[in-house]
Structure 1
């Protein structure tokens, strides 16, 4: 679903993005710079909180060899919510998608920060 006009990231969206981009890896500095201008331009149709991102064209692209950022967030299970993952995708070195991968019912919001941890290669 397209969001027009684009909107700023919510506090929880920004927190998820910043956590995924917090480790050092090739291209991290450029992606962190891009994240300051990131705007939400679309949403997943299933009702989960995953969002399409757009960043300022003047921000330098990251030199990444894959679309998927090498780090992610592991969402730990709780009594009322299943485990999951938070992934960040790029297109041509630019932030493009913040995804909440779930394994049960679609969540309606991003997980509490106490339930996530950064994992990577």
Structure 2
């Protein structure tokens, strides 16, 4: 069963997809229509997403990851967003150290 997108994950998506390009803008427009459909089994905060495709148009295809960035803090963490058929499909938070991250870092620490 799908659940609402957590506020911290939505803030991360907005920060990661900031910018004037049409792909980021179209994916950003999907955030209010995105729901969580699954979680990573390792205990990290990575999310599988589904978007109500009747509510919003697909983004132009760009390939995957659709956007990615590293964090300034923690300095070993990165985030990637994936899209499938032009719709948000996954938001992945990872650590270069291999330890699962169990909370979303503040979006202001994204290095763009």
Gaps of 5+ in 2: none
Q: What secondary structure sits across from 2:22 in the alignment?
A: coil
Show CA shifts across 1:2-47 (max 9, x none). xxx2111111101101111111223222212211101100001111
Which of 16, 24, 30 is the equivalent residue of 1:28? 24
Matched residue pairs, number? 110
Cα distance in 2 for partners of 1:110, 1:44 equals 14
After superposition, give the CA deviation of every residue in 1:42-66 in whole Å (9 maximum; x if it has no partner): 0011111000000011121111131
Please tell me whether residue 86 in structure 1 is matched to residue 79 in structure 2: yes
2:27 and 2:73 map into 1 onto residues whose CA distance is 28
User: Runs of 4+ in structure 1 displaced over 6 angstroms?
Assistant: none
Q: TM-score scaled to structure 1, two decimals?
A: 0.81
Corresponding residue of 1:99: 92
Q: Are residues 1:116 and 2:71 paired?
A: no
Give the alignment's Cα RMSD to 1 decimal. 1.6
Q: TM-score, normalised by structure 2?
A: 0.87
Secondary structure at the counterpart of residue 10 of structure 2: helix
Q: Which has the higher helix share?
A: 2
Structure possessing the higher radius of gyration over alpha carbons: 1
